[in-house]
Amino acid sequence: MFAAALTILRKDAKLRLRDRSVWVFAFVVPLALTYVFSLVFTGQDEFRFTAGVVDLDGGPVAEGFTDGVVPALVEEGLAEVTAFGDEVAARRAIEEEEIGAAWVIPEGFSEQIDAGEGGELTVLVNPDRSLTGQVALGVADGFATRIDRAGLAVAVVIAAAGEVDGDGAGAGAGGGAGAGAGGEADADAGADADAGAGAGAGDEADADAGADADAAAGAGAGADGGEHLGDLDPAILAEVAQRAAEAGPLISVDELAAADRQLDGTTYLAAGMAVFFLFFTVTFGVTGYLEERQQGTLPRLLAAPIGISAVHLGKALGAFALGLVSMTVLAVASATVLDATWGPVGGVAVLVVAAVIAALGVMALVGSFANTAEQAGNLQSVVALVLGLAGGVFFPMGAGLLGQLALVSPHGWFLRGLGDLAGDPAWTSALPAAGALLVFGLVTAVPGLLRMQRGVR
């Protein structure tokens, strides 16, 4: 049986090599679409926004933002910030699309914080750049929160000191800066800005070490007499400074790992196109079988001393080999030409083999419902398109409900497996997704073969 299957395989291979449609679907179109999409979506993996800052105060609290928070954003490559002399200039820049948002620190901001009266940090946003606006609001809100924390630390220390000294003097919480509704941004770059500052009416804040020791002395209000912290005992100020210094850095930028292990844009497109057209490529095995039946050559084959199983095996081996070569060529070409990163060879090989088996099974089942090669081709194209869209081959489905729905498709499991390899380079991390693909293949292949065998009888 195996010798007969190999003979059928060699015959089909010669026919397919002469078929231009095989070359188009297996190699040319997937690679061309990947290249085009990679040009369209270039730079989507990294988020960088433009903003402006207007410092009308010039006080130490304002310097904590302009000399601490803003430079940290720039150094991390998250933002390009321009300083403006007044709010009018900032608004004009937003209207002319030069920047996406602007922070405005009003005059007297530091004095209000020092006096415990609170302050207001205004954020101007461009309504057409919602993500930039959310990031800018998040930065301002974090800065205000850190000022509130510094003020609270001051209040606790002064109240404790009043009890020790027996003068009954307690201090109110330090003034907080209101920045409106803070927002958080989840950028495709995977970077999250958690911005905040501890600053006051003392010296300039230090962007690297967090709130400077002397800067902490300006946060909060004095005891019931309204005195400022500069009039208090140096020992108290030292403890206040220590509390503020322990508050953390003015700004920290951390890379967040997505729970579902995301691929970079080029790799995602390359893998998506490869597995999408894989399902079109393997259909030639099923349609070839139906062509044999239509043209009357299948009965002649069965008249020879070979069984129907040898014919099925030969057709399946031809489709499997074609799918495997197609996936391998596309993976190597996209990695070489487009700098796609598929992952460790062992894990990718396991996923590719499992994906080809899944595609064979699904297309065999679909083709078993057709009577002619044309009908099979139409049905298989529809199913391949629907499964590809459901699996998210053109765009990531995310980690929510759509992400879970993508797992009803072999395409979704293949991309999930590559994502697992991106997070864990061990080839074994691809086994869960590969197992799911094999289940797809076996569950669909068995009824498909049984139906085609009944059709022969």
**Is 287 in contact with 375 (CB distance < 8 Å)?**
no
Neighbours of 332 (CB within 10 A): 12
- Residue 127 phi, psi (nearest 5): -60, -20
Task: Express as a percent the part of the chain with pLDDT over 90.
Answer: 26
Amino acid 327: pLDDT: 94
Per-residue confidence band for 20, with pLDDT thresholds at 50, 70 and 90: confident
In whole angstroms, what is the distance from residue 272 CA to residue 270 CA? 5
Amino acid 365: pLDDT: 93
Least confident among 33-47, 74-88, 238-252: 238-252
Amino acid 159: pLDDT: 54
Q: Evaluate if residue 84 carries a pLDDT over 90.
A: yes
Per-residue confidence band for 417, with pLDDT thresholds at 50, 70 and 90: very high
Amino acid 187: pLDDT: 32
Amino acid 357: pLDDT: 96
Q: Evaluate if residue 221 carries a pLDDT over 80.
A: no
Neighbours of 413 (CB within 10 A): 27
Alpha-carbon 439 to chain mean position = 28
Residue type, position 7, single letter: T
Instruction: Give the residue ranges of DSSP H helices in 96-129.
Output: 109-114
In whole angstroms, what is the distance from residue 79 CA to residue 150 CA? 26
Structure tokens at 151: 């003020």
Amino acid 371: pLDDT: 85
Amino acid 383: pLDDT: 94
pLDDT (mean) for 310-316: 83
In whole angstroms, what is the distance from residue 274 CA to residue 74 CA? 38
- Residue 83 phi, psi (nearest 5): -90, 135
Total residue length of the chain: 457
Top-confidence residue, 110 or 443? 443
Per-residue confidence band for 242, with pLDDT thresholds at 50, 70 and 90: low
Per-residue confidence band for 235, with pLDDT thresholds at 50, 70 and 90: low
User: Which residues in 294-324 are b (16+ Cβ under 10 Å) and which e?
Assistant: eeeebeebeeeebeeebbbbbbbbbbbbbbb
Top-confidence residue, 93 or 263? 93
pLDDT in tens, 23-77: 887 788 888 887 787 676 555 455 678 999 999 998 888 888 898 888 988 888 8
| E-strand stretches of 65-213 | 79-84, 101-105, 119-120, 122-125, 177-178, 191-195
Q: Evaluate if residue 239 carries a pLDDT over 90.
A: no
Per-residue confidence band for 224, with pLDDT thresholds at 50, 70 and 90: very low
Helices (H) and strands (E) in the chain, counts: 18, 8
- Provide the 8-state DSSP code for 430: G
Closest by Cα among 336, 371, 440 to 31: 336
Q: Evaluate if residue 175 carries a pLDDT over 80.
A: no
Amino acid 308: pLDDT: 78
In whole angstroms, what is the distance from residue 22 CA to residue 28 CA? 9
Q: Evaluate if residue 173 carries a pLDDT over 50.
A: no
Amino acid 432: pLDDT: 94
In whole angstroms, what is the distance from residue 455 CA to residue 326 CA? 30
Q: Evaluate if residue 401 carries a pLDDT over 80.
A: no
Task: Express as a percent the part of the chain with pLDDT over 70.
Answer: 71
Amino acid 55: pLDDT: 94
In whole angstroms, what is the distance from residue 23 CA to residue 27 CA? 6
pLDDT in tens, 145-155: 877 766 655 55
pLDDT in tens, 424-453: 888 899 999 999 999 999 999 999 888 887
Top-confidence residue, 379 or 5? 379
Q: Evaluate if residue 207 carries a pLDDT over 90.
A: no
Q: Evaluate if residue 311 carries a pLDDT over 50.
A: yes
Give the pTM.
0.56
Least confident among 132-141, 204-213, 255-264, 382-391: 204-213
Which residues are within 8 A (CB) of 152 and not within 5 positions of it... i.e. 6 or more apart?
173, 174
Highest mean pLDDT among 253-262, 281-290, 369-378: 369-378
Top-confidence residue, 165 or 12? 12
